Amino acid sequence: MRVAIAGGGIAGLTSAIALVARGFTVTLYERAPVLEEVGAGIQLSPNATTVLARLGVLPHLAQATIEPEAIEIRDASRGARLGIVPLGPAARQRYGAPYCLIHRSDLQAGLLAAVRESKAINLHLGLKVGAVRADDNGVIFDAGGTEQHADLLIAADGVRSAIRQKFFAHPGPQPVGRTAWRATLATADVPQTIRRDITGLWLGPGGHLVHYPVRAGASLNVVVIASATGDTPPPNPFGREARALIDVVPSWIPWPLFGVDASKPWTRGRVALIGDAAHAMPPTAAQGGAQAIEDAWVIAAALASQPDDPAAALRAYQRARLGRVLRIVREAERNLAVYNMHGIAAATRNIVLGAMSPERLIRRLDWLYGWKPE
């Protein structure tokens, strides 16, 4: 079977690797002439690393990753510690896979190395997938001005997916109402008061701050998310301790956040949406990339179990994924609201969090992090 993939982000690269592991031949089209990632980090929870381990990619990332001891939740205005979610060895023991922090370019380099090593993947950079037509026998699409044929097409073309909008006729991405300001900082420039062995999550009215080490501890990834716009994050709601970090960041990448309606169909005949093209969500569960990685495993498994009926296999992929992904989208949206509460609601949240033991806080994530392929 000839499988075509549009898009070489986390979803496209991981799908290609998962498909060749099942014996398929893949052609991957990426519109960018050079694969580059935004200069920022990504958290890979155990549900994602378990897939990367099974695909043989995780060992190649080991030099570049770091496993945080915990997620430390703090009040952004006052600095008070609200809760601890134990990770590190506790996550490995609980889920049989690590919780990893990595720079996006290191993750991409690891995935790309696996793609380039495989003779069954044809990678075409600088070729944009355009108009798509499909019937019961196959898919015909434009790639950089030439007509291409495949038995099926996986659209991994991100939150602004043209295939989602044109071939599926789904609405375009919707603003989340928040901007993320992203930066990385040399660890030597990080104030001593900021821990470098954890993921820090500072909650405040209308905005929050996340930081964690990347590049095996050489840099700190810093993200401020707030309901504002501009080149730099707003001063509020951050108090002295959070500001000590925000103020030493020399430059920010502002990133308006968008999501898509994940409840719309992900498959139409022999064409399927995957990753952000299917279900872009707010980053407040740190799951967009992880869900793209889960998708990649499941779509490859579905096609391997029904290679003679690709359309049925793609429908099986959506059936297997939809309930879980919609639950995660709701969780991300709920987290966004809870992280940014004001007044009495925020005070109540802080009391509730403060009363929860580390064991209870991690147990609440078992359904999410404990997912296993098949």
Ligand X SMILES: Cc1cc2nc3c(=O)[nH]c(=O)nc-3n(C[C@H](O)[C@H](O)[C@H](O)COP(=O)(O)OP(=O)(O)OC[C@H]3O[C@@H](n4cnc5c(N)ncnc54)[C@H](O)[C@@H]3O)c2cc1C
Q: Which residues lie near ligand X (CB under 6 A)?
A: 6-12, 29-32, 42-43, 128-129, 156-158, 162, 180, 182, 223, 255, 257, 275-276, 283, 286-290, 292
Taking the complex as a whole, how short is the minimal distance between the CB of residue 103 and ligand X, in angstroms?
12
Whichever of 43 and 350 has its CB closer to ligand X, that residue is: 43
Dihedral sign of CA atoms 298, 300, 306, 312 in order? positive
Rounded distance, CA 335 to CA 188, Å? Answer: 31
Name the phi and psi angles at 112, rounded to 5.
Answer: -65, -40
Whichever of 8 and 110 has its CB closer to ligand X, that residue is: 8
Whichever of 173 and 310 has its CB closer to ligand X, that residue is: 173
Rounded distance, CA 6 to CA 197, Å? Answer: 37
Rounded distance, CA 118 to CA 141, Å? Answer: 24
Rounded distance, CA 169 to CA 234, Å? Answer: 37
| Chain CA centroid to CA 361, Å | 22
Whichever of 46 and 310 has its CB closer to ligand X, that residue is: 46
Q: Which two tokens stand for residue 124?
A: 């075409």
Between the alpha carbon of residue 326 and those of residues 235, 278, 282, 331, the distances in Å are 33, 11, 12, 9
95 noted as active-site residue: no
Whichever of 307 and 333 has its CB closer to ligand X, that residue is: 333
Taking the complex as a whole, how short is the minimal distance between the CB of residue 355 and ligand X, in angstroms?
27
Burial of 10 (0-12, 13-18, 19+ CB in 10 A): buried
Taking the complex as a whole, how short is the minimal distance between the CB of residue 281 and ligand X, in angstroms?
7
| Chain CA centroid to CA 272, Å | 18
Rounded distance, CA 77 to CA 235, Å? Answer: 11
Catalytic residue among 29, 95, 99, 212: 212
Taking the complex as a whole, how short is the minimal distance between the CB of residue 357 and ligand X, in angstroms?
25
Taking the complex as a whole, how short is the minimal distance between the CB of residue 284 and ligand X, in angstroms?
9
Taking the complex as a whole, how short is the minimal distance between the CB of residue 351 and ligand X, in angstroms?
27
Whichever of 33 and 343 has its CB closer to ligand X, that residue is: 33
Name the phi and psi angles at 28, rounded to 5.
Answer: -110, 125
Cβ neighbors of 116 (< 8 A, separation 6 or more) are 123
Q: Could you give the residue numbers annotated as active site?
A: 212
